[in-house]
Chains A and B, each alone.
Chain A
């Protein structure tokens, strides 16, 4: 925990899909244990940055370092162990024909980790799920419970970095509050680094220290999350997004 090098370091990152450049010149650092947000509208490239970080968007150029390792052009086992992703829609990201137990044991089996039984039990406790959920299927659970399972799955390998892609936007407000509290508690307990993608600025205000505002594939501004308190952004696009989200009202 004394390592001063950043968890994630991006320099002039360009990302393309099929030759079409969708992200241009992205540069930022996320310190160890920091919670950093990427905000912007659909199509701004914020999720693409997350995909590139875990090797799912191979067409990138520039410099990318995650936990001191060079960036990937395909998913890789060693990186998966240290850097995990939680997706937006818990209805789509859990296998419909696998029980919670199978979903949580799978990463352990792949990485040859023992004590699976205890680890799965503990993971359920950590995300606040009763043990009776262990042998249920996704369709037997609510959206909030499923998202807890998705978070537990990401935590099975005890990663240092969590990439969170709109983790609460498919959930009701009261369930969103529970999941946000859970993410905040897990980060405090384990010293996790978060890179959160969202279009919801109040969520950033609750969960993050710094944020980068993206528009049309570029970062237009990097600001402290406290800028959300008073709207002290400098870029016109950030100000417009802030106003549209109900800032200064």
Chain B
């Protein structure tokens, strides 16, 4: 049985011109692997991540089946869903500056993430939090646990967020553009950290990003999305041999480090 299976997922929103599908007939299976979803803004990649966690609010509508280890999530009530979010499926958001609570210390926030799902004695909670901060490679975890979000750098903030998301030991981690708010030198560290934790714990990972080279480096398999549909699925190692014109167009539009082209190819937007 696969960890996650998504069947005919549709996400739609009403517009003055009628309902518009932002995700259309999306199906995929995820085992204990690292799946990348790439596409440009508006391709539906983030909506897919949100739909899996049932975070799409009305008037948005979600149809299709989402099975987590065989159990259908689509029929669950809000209360049951809350027991799944964080504990079994976790999500890392883009920018730690907006996703961390500004008036709660880092330590308290991480403890809270655990407390919601597991009631442990106070001493044990503290120990788990400390352990988790060490696992995300924060030096001096006791000091950092007493800090507030504004006292952290972007890279540290993202590590704290990862700690918070992984402390209830979820089975599946969804990372939505986890490094696009970070400097290049920190990006690699954060992704390597996510990668190590995913491998050590045998979690599944869905990495959502617009950055093709990055996804190719950190995933096993890639879905390329455009206008709500999957246009191509391939092994990450084969991304550079992709055949679909949209994927090829995306790859060609990225400037290269040893750029010698006078002009970058652009996509035909008339279609």
Contacts of B257 in A (CB 8 A): 201-202, 205, 228-229, 245-247
Our pick among A172, A174, A241 for the contact of B184 (Cβ within 8 Å) is A241
Our pick among A176, A178, A180, A205 for the contact of B258 (Cβ within 8 Å) is A205
Q: Is the CB of B185 within 8 A of A241?
A: yes
Q: Is the CB of B259 within 8 A of A206?
A: yes
Roughly how many angstroms separate A180 CA and B254 CA in the complex, as a whole number?
A: 11
The contact string, 1 if C-beta is below 8 Å from chain A, for chain B 227-271, is 000000000000000000000011001111111011111110000
Q: Is A78 interfacial (CB-CB < 8 Å)? A: no
Closest to A39 in B: B184
Contacts of B250 in A (CB 8 A): 173-174
Roughly how many angstroms separate A175 CA and B267 CA in the complex, as a whole number?
A: 9
Roughly how many angstroms separate A87 CA and B249 CA in the complex, as a whole number?
A: 27
Contacts of B253 in A (CB 8 A): 173-174, 176-177
Roughly how many angstroms separate A231 CA and B253 CA in the complex, as a whole number?
A: 22
The contact string, 1 if C-beta is below 8 Å from chain A, for chain B 177-199, is 00000011101100000000000
Chain A: minimal CB distance from B210 (Å):
6
Q: Is the CB of A245 within 8 A of B266?
A: no
Contacts of B263 in A (CB 8 A): 181, 184
Q: Is B14 interfacial (CB-CB < 8 Å)? A: no
Contacts A172-B210, A177-B266, A181-B264 known; A41 to B255 CB distance under 8 Å?
no
User: Chain A: how many interface residues by the 8 Å CB criterion?
Assistant: 29
Our pick among B184, B261, B262, B265 for the contact of A41 (Cβ within 8 Å) is B184
User: Chain B: how many interface residues by the 8 Å CB criterion?
Assistant: 27
Roughly how many angstroms separate A245 CA and B255 CA in the complex, as a whole number?
A: 12
Contacts A42-B154, A202-B254 known; A240 to B185 CB distance under 8 Å?
yes
Contacts A181-B263, A202-B259, A229-B258 known; A173 to B185 CB distance under 8 Å?
no
Roughly how many angstroms separate A42 CA and B188 CA in the complex, as a whole number?
A: 16
Q: Chain A interface secondary structure, helix, strand, loop or mixed?
A: helix
Q: Is B41 interfacial (CB-CB < 8 Å)? A: yes
Chain B: minimal CB distance from A238 (Å):
12
Q: Is the CB of A199 within 8 A of B258?
A: no
Roughly how many angstroms separate A184 CA and B249 CA in the complex, as a whole number?
A: 20
Chain B: minimal CB distance from A228 (Å):
5
Chain B: minimal CB distance from A236 (Å):
12
Contacts of A180 in B (CB 8 A): 255, 264
Our pick among B40, B213, B258 for the contact of A228 (Cβ within 8 Å) is B258
> Which residues of A, 202-234, contact B by the 8 Å Cβ criterion?
202-203, 205-206, 228-230
Roughly how many angstroms separate A245 CA and B249 CA in the complex, as a whole number?
A: 22
Closest to B262 in A: A184
Contacts of A203 in B (CB 8 A): 255
Task: List residues of chain B with CB under 8 Å of any chain A CB.
Answer: 40-41, 154, 183-185, 187-188, 210, 212-213, 249-250, 253-259, 261-267
